[in-house]
Amino acid sequence: MNDQQMQQAITNLVIKSANMFADGKSRAEVIKELLSYGMTDEAAEAIANKGQEIKSAEARKSGGTTMMIGAGICVVGLAITLGTHEAAASNGGGHYVIAYGAILGGAWVFLKGLWRSMAG
């Protein structure tokens, strides 16, 4: 096996370990599987570490995106509520919309994203 093939094999194992962590496998399970391929303890540890880093980085990135979506939904709900309230008040009273579904739903999505990025 040449250097390029060896590097590709290691890259594939790192990706496999990241996917195993993403699937909920424990560190011990990931290392056990890597050892079953005949690698040394040190190599298995290093590959598992890198896989865990990749999985955590992806979770943080995904959580940040989810937080932004939740914040956007919440802001739209607040804008609708405040806009319709101002329109009703400027006409001397009347009806307005309280977009509590968008406000609460957006806040919930934001919190889920925050949890995901922190748990990363």
Pair of tokens at residue 107: 């806040």
What confidence score (pLDDT) does residue 105 get? 98
Per-residue confidence of the chain (120 residues) as pLDDT tens digits?
788 888 998 899 999 999 999 898 999 999 999 999 888 999 999 999 999 999 999 999 999 999 999 999 999 999 999 999 999 998 888 899 999 999 999 999 999 999 999 987
The amino acid present at 34, given as its one-letter code, is L
What confidence score (pLDDT) does residue 1 get? 73
Type and span of the H or E element at 2: none
Q: Where are the beta strands (DSSP E) in the chain?
A: none
What confidence score (pLDDT) does residue 119 get? 83
Annotated domain spans of the chain: 3-119
Q: Residue 38 and residue 14: Cα distance in Å, rounded?
A: 15
Look up the pTM and report it: 0.73
What confidence score (pLDDT) does residue 2 get? 84
What confidence score (pLDDT) does residue 100 get? 96
